[in-house]
Structure 1
Amino acid sequence: MSTPASPAIPPTLFLSDDDVAVLSDWTAAVAALADAYARHVSDAMVPPRSMARGDGTWLRSLTAVSPSGGHLGCKLIAASTRARRASYLISLFDQDTTALTALIDGNRVTGLRTAATATLAIDLLAPLRPLQVAVIGSGFEARGALDCLRTVRRLASVKVFSPSQASRERFADSFRPQLDIAAVSSAEVAVQEADVVICAARSRDESPTLHGAWLAPGCTVVSLGSTLPEQREVDEDTLDRAACIVADMPAEVAHDTGDAIAATRAGVQLADKLVSLAALAAGTVTARRSERDIVVYKSVGSALQDVVIAEMLLGLARERGIGTPLAVSIAPVSK
């Protein structure tokens, strides 16, 4: 009796950094993440990240099973602190055949998924009206977060602060005339009367750049820039005033970010108000019980976000005929 022939496996598609730039789409990215977070995602599907360390080098791996049922994915980040260089690679494997479906340059994907997930959180948390937005920071993450948000929500006004006057003026100029945006002289001025505060910068001495005393009632705070124990971005009062703290990875936010560690040491009880973005997206938790409640979205990044955005890019690449099919690939074997 003959052995059934293995199904034909399409060639692995390689997407370069230039391909990703062409395919990047904020609206599609937010929609893909909204769909993923509304589905059931177990802890086993998104395990903790791992890191191998050498002498001035490290390799981080983030793995996830997509809730779409399409792919298993992994993002690898190789970095050298001595050379001041880093490389990013995302691999997607078909869940049914285990075939290597795609290899994607992940350089831009981190920025895409960070901004799109922040926009999803804001859309779920902020009031349904044109928003007054404050941005603290004028770098890559701040730019992506504001650019993505303006494609999904109407913005009444934007104020931006960063320590460099030239940088904040350039940032503001780059968004005119699409937005009513002003560069201001301090973070406190930027935050006054804001519906949404986007924090995407840390101080050089790691002292907080946002203070809870500045926040107006009902404000939504998004913290993107502090993801390690030694990093600080929002002060203890911000987390103390928050009625709810939404996190993409609650355990990592609670135990591995400098903001949460400092707040816990100061006696702020985080456990009772820390909820997952997945629970918020699924509608199983209510973050704000009063319109005056302050809420915080705290992000450390997640392999789920990387894999979902990679799937989105792959789908768009197939539709548009973009990418390079590899001449040879990895053939799945029987086990």
Structure 2
Amino acid sequence: MTLFLTDADVRAAFDWADAIAALRGAYAAPPDETRFPSRSMARGDGLWLRTLSGVPGDGGPMGAKLIAASLRNRRASYLIPLFDQETVELTALLDGHSITGFRTAATSALAADLLAPAGPLRVAVIGSGFEAQNHVRALAAIRHLSSVTVFSPTPASRTRFTQELADLQLPTATAQSPEAAVAGADLVICAARSRDEQPTLREAPAGATVVSIGSTLPEQRELATEVISRAEVIVADLVHEVTEDTGDLIAARKAGVDFAAKTVSLADVVSGRVAGRPAHDPDAVVIYKSVGSAAQDLAVAAMCVRRAAELSLGTRLPVTISPVSK
């Protein structure tokens, strides 16, 4: 029978280390663009319905994430259906709200683990909300963090950030500017919507790995053109969408920055087909830029379903959708 997981079920079943391991396996699968087509967006009268679908190459459940949103009412719903690849049975339905945030941070942690220097990491965070906090939790699950410094425009938000992460027992500090936050950092996490769509990161420290997840649309800006220009390597979860549909890369292209030759896919880095951080240059700046993908949603959703079954979480639906012969 189909297992239904509420958002509370998903949160109870979720585990950072397991999510990162699931994503590592998903991205190590042989590349096949047909398995994960471009997302689609239906729009109408202040409403939109976005669809991300995929058939994982590692044999995991196929499925989709649907996001229904009303811009005028400022509301959204997230639904993830999962189907068994062999029987095409509907195995699970999940509230996808928390999965969206979890999979973004877990994928960033996977990328950072591959791209950041070995050893303890000095982390700078620009942003203090849900995504920013999740990124620190994800990173702390797989790397030792020697310090975490946060910048957010509001002092109260910076304080709340450190209080929310107190259970991790990490050395935390607040900064009054992005420049002060990133000084000396090994890893910079950009996870905040910029005001007036002006870049929040204008300069990256030598040798830093920059994680950028806050600019996913053409009208959004997060990284200054100078940061894009300086980067030795840009790792993208979806190369085409990152280079063509994000405000950071659109602005850099207009400014004459040629980044095509230095942009590689996260899947190629995970699988070892290409190197991430240049071994010859310890001062190289490397960027991981994410727009999110169905591969991430499905890997993390499948992991949550497995753990939910082990923990006796969720609700078995009394009826389901039965496959039919074709």
TM-fit CA distance, 1:186: 0.5
Partner of 1:40: helix, strand, or coil?
coil
Question: 8 Å contact 2:116–2:277 — kept in the other structure?
Answer: no
1:233 aligns with 2:222: yes
TM-fit CA distance, 1:308: 0.6
TM-fit CA distance, 1:202: 2.4
Distance across 2 between alignment mates of 1:216 and 1:184: 16
Distance across 1 between alignment mates of 2:165 and 2:49: 36
- Tell me the residue number matched to 1:194: 185
Question: 8 Å contact 1:243–1:287 — kept in the other structure?
Answer: no
**RMSD of equivalent CA atoms:** 0.9
Distance across 2 between alignment mates of 1:223 and 1:65: 26
1:164 aligns with 2:154: yes
- Tell me the residue number matched to 2:292: 301
Q: Show the 5 A alignment for 1:13-24.
A: 13-24=3-14
Question: 8 Å contact 2:119–2:144 — kept in the other structure?
Answer: yes
Question: 8 Å contact 2:107–2:296 — kept in the other structure?
Answer: yes
Distance across 2 between alignment mates of 1:189 and 1:143: 19
Q: Deviations over 1:197-220 (max 9, x none)?
A: 0000122200000012xx221100
1:80 aligns with 2:50: no
Bigger Rg over Cα: 1
- Tell me the residue number matched to 2:197: 206
TM-fit CA distance, 1:193: 0.6
- Tell me the residue number matched to 1:251: 240
Partner of 1:205: helix, strand, or coil?
helix
Which of 255, 260, 284 is matched with 2:273 structurally? 284
TM-fit CA distance, 1:287: 2.2
Q: Which sections of structure 1, spanning at least 5 residues, go unmatched?
A: 1-10
- Tell me the residue number matched to 1:69: 59
Question: 8 Å contact 1:202–1:208 — kept in the other structure?
Answer: no
Q: How many residues align?
A: 323
TM-fit CA distance, 1:41: 3.1
- Tell me the residue number matched to 1:182: 173
- Tell me the residue number matched to 2:105: 115
% identical aligned pairs: 57
Q: Which sections of structure 2, spanning at least 5 residues, go unmatched?
A: none
Question: 8 Å contact 2:114–2:276 — kept in the other structure?
Answer: no
The one-letter code matched in structure 2 to 1:292 is D
TM-fit CA distance, 1:173: 2.5
- Structure 1 length-normalised TM: 0.95
Partner of 1:267: helix, strand, or coil?
coil
Deviates more, 1:170-179 or 1:202-211: 170-179
Q: Deviations over 1:233-265 (max 9, x none)?
A: 000011100000000000000000000000001
Partner of 2:78: helix, strand, or coil?
strand
Partner of 1:108: helix, strand, or coil?
helix
Distance across 1 between alignment mates of 2:161 and 2:36: 35
- Structure 2 length-normalised TM: 0.97
Question: Which runs of at least 4 in structure 1 moved beyond 4 Å after TM superposition?
Answer: none
Distance across 2 between alignment mates of 1:317 and 1:147: 21
